[in-house]
Amino acid sequence: MKEQILILDFGAQYTQVIARRVRECRVYSTIVRFDMRAEEIAALNPKGLILSGGPASVYAPQAPLPDRGIFELGIPILGICYGAQIMAHFLDGKVERGQKREYGKGTLLVTDPFSALFANLPDSLQVWNSHGDKLTAPPAGFKAVATSDNSEFAAIEDRERKFFGLQFHPEVAHTPNGREIISNFVHGVCGCGKDWTMGRYIDEAVEEIRAEVGRERVLLGLSGGVDSSVAAALIHKAIGDRLTCIFVNNGLLRGGEARVVREVFGRNFKIKLQYEDASKLFLRRLKGVTDPERKRKIIGKTFIEVFQAATKRAGAARFLGQGTLYPDVIESVPIAGNPAALIKSHHNVGGLPRKMKFKLIEPLKCLFKDEVRQLGMELGLPHEIVMRQPFPGPGLAVRMVGEVTFRRCEMLRAADSIVVEEMKASGWYYRIWQSFAVLLPVRSVGVMGDERTYDFTIAIRAVESQDGMTADWVKLPYELLEKLSNRIINEVKGVNRVCFDISSKPPATIEWE
């Protein structure tokens, strides 16, 4: 069985970050619910447990509480923030309701030079706090190993049982030595090796896919995005020609997209690729439609139809491959006031497979996005595919306010290609979440040469984001904006004005529709 650390999720905003930090230490980690029973945990044989933070107070009437039995398993435990308070609460320490939240940067003074958590770290560390309740007396067997301005018990440990509690958050970037603290826990305390590597993951996944698929065939809808591309490359490595990828051109793709996908997958990887050009059908159905929700519905429905027909042509297959990622399958903790419970992606969870009689193969479903990118690199996919920005399923249709026509698609494609090209040339493309052009139905007066024009407007959108749920607009340099504007106005016929979108999400969304 693979060595792993289990993270009990008490509903913190940062639970997934903890899991990623552990994996960055090359140790596999899994997020489970806070109330998983101790016997079930024992059956998974983890090398250590981490109790996440959470928005609740241990005294709140519906505070999420773990099975008391976890403290009897003989497994090392690290409690972070709420997790530390839970530990103190269950083991008879003292947690007091804070009068005010301690929030922001603080300084930690390590008072015990022999504490395993702070091995090889300086005595004074910058840390990030965000908690309401406060530990005021450690449970029996524990002692303070670090203090802060605000707390005598900023870090506590029970050396014998290998239990640790931290009031601050080691997982966030604002705690610069946090990685070492987590590494000290998983390697130094729990004794984990460094076995979680993408090379090893490929070997194991290939074995698993082969065992599951046997002599059967797999179909996979390739979108050109990172996830489906990496899933395709991985499944192809496992079963070669028994994988057929279906690529649907809905007429709403970026410039050059169909060509790149056919080149990379068909020509270089020699993956069987069934190219379905349904662009005319999509555009016909979208004719005259301007309402964003209706556009999306029509595109979704048409896609299912086209894809279903394509699978019939692809011949008998029992399996459908999908690039589902770990964040899509983590069950969110149903705690009142937990923002993570609400932020559940509504995208990418289409009803497609359930309606169809396929068994799913989801070889990325325990990976985070950055791991999928690493995996893609190891599998030899080009940087251009592995590092590309997200692109919505309904494509250019949601970046075109008003009616979707071939002519308008061509206009937007041309403007968008300029944005992508210049963002790449200036080095900004790979630094941010998304950057693209939007076509507005607004016409305005201009002059070009001696002539008066009455043409359309392009908006440029560039945003920074961790996961697409919230986003900030990017302060692109004026020189770059100037270049984008000049090129778009000069090169895209029908456009005489360029604007820059300076709205954040919320309240605006990233896409315009």
Catalytic sites, residue numbers? 81, 169, 171
Q: Is 434 in the site for ligand XMP (CB under 6 A)?
A: yes
Which SS3 state, helix, strand or coil, does residue 329 take?
helix
Q: Which is nearer to ligand XMP, 156 or 438 (CB)?
A: 438
Cβ closer to ligand XMP: 23 or 461?
461
228 is an interface residue for ligand XMP by CB under 6 A? no
Beta-bridged to residue 151, according to DSSP, are: 148
CB of 389 to ligand XMP, least distance (A): 8
Report the 10 Å Cβ neighbour count for 145. 24
Nearer to ligand XMP, 393 or 494 (CB): 393
Least Å from the CB of residue 157 to ligand XMP: 42
Helix (H, G, I), strand (E, B) or coil at 218: strand
Candidates 210, 270, 347, 355; binder of ligand XMP (CB under 6 A) is 347
468 binds ligand XMP (CB under 6 A): yes
Q: Show contacts with ligand XMP in window 370-429 (CB under 6 A).
A: 390, 392-394
> Which is nearer to ligand XMP, 466 or 509 (by Cβ)?
509
Residue 155, classed as helix, strand or coil, is strand
CA distance 137 to 93: 5
- For residues 500 and 481, the answer to whether their CB atoms sit within 8 Å is yes
Which of 125, 178, 197, 146 shows the shortest CA–CA distance to 17? 178
Backbone angles phi, psi at 106, to 5 degrees: -150, 170
Q: Which residues contact 127 (CB under 8 A, 6 or more apart)?
A: 105, 106, 107, 108, 148, 154, 168, 169, 170, 174, 175, 178
Count of residues of this chain found to bind ligand XMP when the rule CB under 6 A is applied: 12
Least distance (Å) between residue 450 CB and ligand XMP:
41
Q: Which amino acid is at 215?
A: R
Instruction: Work out whether 344 is an interface residue with ligand XMP (CB under 6 A).
Output: no
Grouping H, G, I as helix, E, B as strand and the rest as coil, residue 276 is: strand
Which residue among 274, 279, 348, 453 contacts ligand XMP (CB under 6 A)? 348
* Residue 205 binds to ligand XMP (criterion: CB under 6 A): no
One-letter amino acid of 102? E
Is residue 327 a contact point for ligand XMP (CB under 6 A)? no
Smallest distance, ligand XMP to C-beta of residue 343, A: 11
Q: Does 197 bind ligand XMP (CB under 6 A)?
A: no
Q: Where are the alpha helices (DSSP H) in 214-325?
A: 226-239, 257-261, 279-286, 292-313
Helix boundaries (H) for 379-425: 383-386, 406-425
**Residue 470 touching ligand XMP (CB under 6 A):** no
**Cα 220 to Cα 189, 228, 258, distances in angstroms:** 43, 8, 16
Q: Is 460 helix (H, G, I), strand (E, B) or coil?
A: strand
For the CB of residue 469, give the shortest distance to ligand XMP in the complex, in Å.
7
User: Which CB, 501 or 511, lies closer to ligand XMP?
Assistant: 511
CA dist., res. 37 & res. 453, Å (int): 70
Closest CB to ligand XMP among residues 108, 510? 510
Site string for ligand XMP, 250-289 (x = CB under 6 A): ----------------------------------------
Q: Which of 75, 298 has the CB closer to ligand XMP?
A: 298
Residue ranges that bind ligand XMP, judged by CB under 6 A = 347-348, 390, 392-394, 434, 468, 505, 509-511
